[in-house]
Amino acid sequence: MNIPDKLKRLISLLEHTDVKSEDELNYIVNSMHINIADISDYINFRHPLNESYGRKIIYESKKIEMVTMSWNIGDFTSIHDHGQAQWGLVLSFGAVQNSIFEISKHKLMLIDEQILNAGEITILDNSAIHQMGNSNLRPSVSLHIYYTQKSEKGVTAEARNYDLYDNKIYKANGGAFLLLAKENIVSEEKCPDYDQALYEKQFVIRRNFIDKCCPVNMRKKYPSTSINIHNEQR
């Protein structure tokens, strides 16, 4: 698939620029005036059932990862960070929910929740932990750009996915899906503490996704406890 000219110019600029902050990344991307027509070939609302949102890579290198994400109603990512990325940016082309987390005193906490409307941008640094999704009444699309100068593994390689149901952090490559394929998981560790309200919210998001999208005969591909969501809550 041919990359549109405007995105090619942006990619070339980022590849040849020593980006020093998320604000500089934001300035560069804003200067290109990207619109939804520029990414239309990469919109994918008919994503595989086992993936909890549409994810289409436009370009990736050792410095840059550029991805279009397509959000059907009820689509969500896991709670996650961005692996090796130093900075990142999300440009929304419709209403997308962005939930922001932090780890304080060994506890994972929800600190803010916002709706990114069409044309709005949120910027990310290496410490960012968030969850994106579509809790609205119509599908949406967003463009995600991640940047690093410090990785040989891949820009978003070994991203942490916080799985409250399994009580684990899965370091994984590929998308931050609600259910991670075993072959994409690099390592795992114990999840930080979290409160019951956050657990219950994540439980509902995953239950709705699995009930809608994941037939029983597909579930064996995933870590076993990830699909037992009709079990009694802890």
Q: Is residue 233 part of a domain?
A: no
Note the pLDDT of residue 156.
Answer: 96
Q: Is residue 133 part of a domain?
A: yes
Note the pLDDT of residue 210.
Answer: 80
Question: Which domain CATH number covers 134?
Answer: 2.60.120.10
Q: Is residue 215 part of a domain?
A: yes
Based on the structure, what is the number of domains in the chain? 1
Note the pLDDT of residue 216.
Answer: 61
Note the pLDDT of residue 232.
Answer: 35
Q: Is residue 24 part of a domain?
A: yes
Note the pLDDT of residue 228.
Answer: 40
Note the pLDDT of residue 212.
Answer: 76
* Blockwise average pLDDT, block size 10, the chain, 234 residues: 93 95 94 96 91 96 97 96 96 97 96 96 96 94 95 92 95 95 95 95 88 62 40 36
Q: Look at residue 220 and give its three-state secondary structure.
A: helix
The residue segments making up the domain with residue 164 are 5-227
pTM for this predicted structure: 0.90
At position 172, the amino acid (one-letter code) is A
Q: Is residue 234 part of a domain?
A: no
Q: Is residue 55 part of a domain?
A: yes
Q: How far lies 156's CA from each of 60, 146, 167, in Å? A: 10, 7, 22
- For CA atoms 198, 199, 200, 206, the dihedral sign is positive
Q: Look at residue 56 and give its three-state secondary structure.
A: strand
Q: Is residue 57 part of a domain?
A: yes
Q: Is residue 185 part of a domain?
A: yes
Cα–Cα distance, 108 to 160 (Å, whole number): 13
